[in-house]
Structure formats: structure tokens, C-alpha cells
Amino acid sequence: MLNTETVSKPSPLPTPPMLSGGLPYIGHAIEFYRDPENFFRRGYSKHGNVFGIKLLGQPMAILVGPQEQSFFFKSTDKQLDMEKPYQFLAAMFGRIAFLGPHDTYMLQRPILHSLFTRDQMSSYLPIMSRTVRQWMDTLDESGEFELTEAMTHLVKEVAGRCFLGDEVHERLEAEGFWDQYDALSASLDPLLYNLPLPKFKRRDQAKQTMRAILQPLIEERRANPKQDGFQYFLDQPDGAGVPLADDIVASFFSALLFAGHETTAGQSAWSVIHLINNPGYLASVREEVTRVLGDSSEVNHVHMREIQLTTAAVQETGRLRPSAETLIREVKEDIELDGYRIPAGWFAMTSTAAAHFIPDYFSDPYSYDPARFTEKGEGRGFELLTFGGGLHKCTGMNFARTEMAIIVALLFREYDLELVTPFDKIGVNRGGSSKPTPVIVSYKKRAND
């Protein structure tokens, strides 16, 4: 039985059991960097739902299981806080939204939500469809391509054209804006982010370059507004009705476009990989897509409701290969949880590597089984952490899932694909969010029935 309460006086309860294998000062950092999946699974296997680790002297309580994860999300902005653990992202984009104080987040939250209303999502669907078709038009009748890089390029195009509009996206691309994201991706490091290392110097230079590219565009649009995604965002006031300052607008755009492609690129690639590797389920997806879409060149909101096997495939990929393997909070005041005391000053962390593979909540958890999200009804609560939870659940969740479903639907309707790189040779590239290592895929245009 989960038991939590704020502690107002010293508690006799022990702190969470510390996982073995930590070294002086650096703690478990080496194992955390080298093999995070098995690291967190080892902790859960040995200690259960709550255990402790240390990373560079920082004690952390790892919380695993639906009830513990529910506490984690529902206590955010109360006993738990997001600002300090995500300073590595604030170093990239500034103290905006959830990267700043809670009051800042609440003031700026309506701006983010305005981008993903029902009307806005409807406006994105034809753009997504068109962008995917344009990418497929670059393919021959048959051939090979490297999947991870192809998906990274494609989702950049989708994010840029949806959130900026074609004109601004193409201008930023010509001015080298998108090239800067390679340096930002390489700097994703929650532990060492403030050290004077080359990758962080490149991060800071990229940040300055992006600001320099965006600033004249912001000034032009304030003087001469146009109607597109860039202008729509630029015109959004914060929760108090106050227009955003130019530097905040630049930070928001940099962060929005990063979130819009960095995390989705890996899951798009993994979705394609898993479907190729599971031809039985792929056949069902292809039959569904062919029946629902027919020869339509555009996926609309009615189609999206009906391609349930496709969206389940995307959801299963998010369980097996989520973009973020950990979510972190700072413990602001002592708490009691499952018979342990977690002191103020510790960090609390959840781990998808452990949470998404608990047999009590996901049957045969290491198997690819999208049916768990249809007829089996699994993952409907706090068991699934792909897009976080609670107040800070990813605002772009529906955008990402829709985009990936459209990529899968249109690509597999038009092409037969095979893995040239064997499935068991595909690893995880951790230089950023979780992406597959380079994967060669062969393709052949399908004959029209």
C-alpha cells in the first residue's frame, strides 16, 4: 500500500536502500552512462519500487511502479520541483516554461497549449501529409537509405513547416539555423553540462548563432506581420496577456523546434524498424491503412481515428524505445514513501527502462505487442511514462503520435521495406535522445492493386 506524507519533524524511517556498485564521489555515474537500461533494471530487481543511487555526489531516489510514479507526477510543483534537475536544458534554451520557476511555467504554459488545440492540430495534418509525400518523392523505385538520418531530416521538415510555415522554415534552413541542432543534441548531458568541455562550448556557440539568425526575423515580423505558423506563435501573449520579449520568443522557438524533432526522430525510426521486424503485425497495419486511406494523398482527422493498429504500433514503440529514459525532480521537503524517508535535497527520478518492463503491468514486456494498447487495455494509467504525466505531461504528445502515425501509414502503404542491417545489430545511439545507430533499409515501390 502506497503511503506518502510530508514530514514535519525528523523521521525514524530509513532512507532508500542504496544500490551496490557506487564509487567514491562519482557514485554510479559510470554504469549510468554506459548502460542505463540494465542499470535501472538491476536496481528494481534488487530493491523493488524505491531505491537510491548517487551520481557525482548527488543522492537520488529511484521510483518505479504506477503508484510511485503517480506520486512523482502529482507531487511535482509541491514536494517535488523541476527547475534544478533540468538546468542542463536551461543551459541550452534559457529559463523558459518548465525550465524556469513554477510561476514562469504557469504564465507561459498557455502559449505552448495554444499550439496544440484541436483547430491547430487539424491545420497540421495536411502539412504533415504533404511533407512526408515530398520526402517519399525523393526515393526511387527501389534502393537503400540510412533510416536514422532519413527520419531525423524528415521530422525536422515536419516540425519546421508546421510551426514556422514554409517560407520561414526554408529561410532558416538556408541561413544555417537547423545545422546548429547537431551541437545542441550532442550536449544533452544532465551531469556534466556546466563543465568547460568542448561540446558545451559548441552548445553555447550554437545558441548564440540561433539567436542571431532569429532576431532580425522577429523584428521584421513585428513590423510587417504575415499569416503563418511563425506569426501565430509570435502573436501569442503569456497568461497575463503580455506579449513575449524578443529573447524569450527566440528561446521558445529554439526549444520548440528541438523538442519537435529531436525526440520524434528516434521513435519514428524505431517504429519503422519494429514493424519491418514484425511482418505479421505489419501486414495488419498495411491492410488497415489501405482500407482506411484508399488512394488518398492526405491523412485527415477521420483517418486518424480509424488507423488504430497504426497508432498502437507507434505507442508500443514509445514503450520499448522512449525518447527520454529518465525523468527527474528535486525533493524540496522531506517526504515519506513506501516506508522510506527521502530527504530534502535529494533528487527523485523515474526510469522508463524499469517501469515499462514490469510483468505485472505489461504482459511479456520485452516482446513487441501493440495489441496491449488495443484489446488488452494495458498502459492506461501511470504505468506508461513515454510522454511524462500530470501537469507537465508533454504538450506535444498528440502532435508527435500523429506525425509518426502518418509517416508509418504513408511509407508502408507505398513501399516494401527490409532491414539490411540485422535487427540484432541495431544499437542505441545515446548522443542525444534515444535513437537507433545507423540502420540501412532497402525499399521497393509497391505495385498498385
List, for residues 57-68, the tens digit of each pLDDT value: 999 999 999 999
Q: Residue 239, by phi and psi: left (phi above 0), alpha (psi -120 to 50) or beta?
A: alpha
Q: What is the mean pLDDT of residues 51-55?
A: 97
Question: Residue 449: pLDDT above 60?
Answer: no
Is residue 302 within a helix (H) or strand (E), and if so which, with residue range?
A: helix 301-306
- Whether residue 361 contacts residue 379, with contact meaning beta carbons closer than 8 Å, is answered with yes
- Whether residue 384 contacts residue 358, with contact meaning beta carbons closer than 8 Å, is answered with no
Work out the pLDDT band at 8, boundaries 50, 70, 90.
low
Report which listed range, 93-107, 210-224, 383-397, is most confident: 210-224
Which carries the bigger pLDDT value, residue 98 or residue 317?
317
Question: Residue 71: pLDDT above 60?
Answer: yes
- Whether residue 197 contacts residue 232, with contact meaning beta carbons closer than 8 Å, is answered with no
Closest alpha carbon to 75 in 323, 391, 414, 385? 391
Average pLDDT score over the chain: 93
Question: Residue 1: pLDDT above 50?
Answer: no
Q: What is the mean pLDDT of residues 228-249?
A: 89
Cα–Cα distances in angstroms (integers) from residue 302 to residues 113, 293, 299, 308, 398, in the given order? 22, 10, 8, 11, 15
Q: Which pLDDT score is estimated for 302? A: 95
* pTM for this model (two decimals): 0.92
Cα angle 53, 58, 61 (rounded to 5 degrees) comes to 40
The DSSP symbol for 373 reads G
Q: What is the mean pLDDT of residues 174-193?
A: 91
Question: Residue 304: pLDDT above 80?
Answer: yes
Q: Which pLDDT score is estimated for 259? A: 86
* Domains, the chain, ordered by start: 1-94+324-378 (1.10.630.10)
Question: Residue 432: pLDDT above 70?
Answer: no
Q: What is the mean pLDDT of residues 41-61?
A: 97
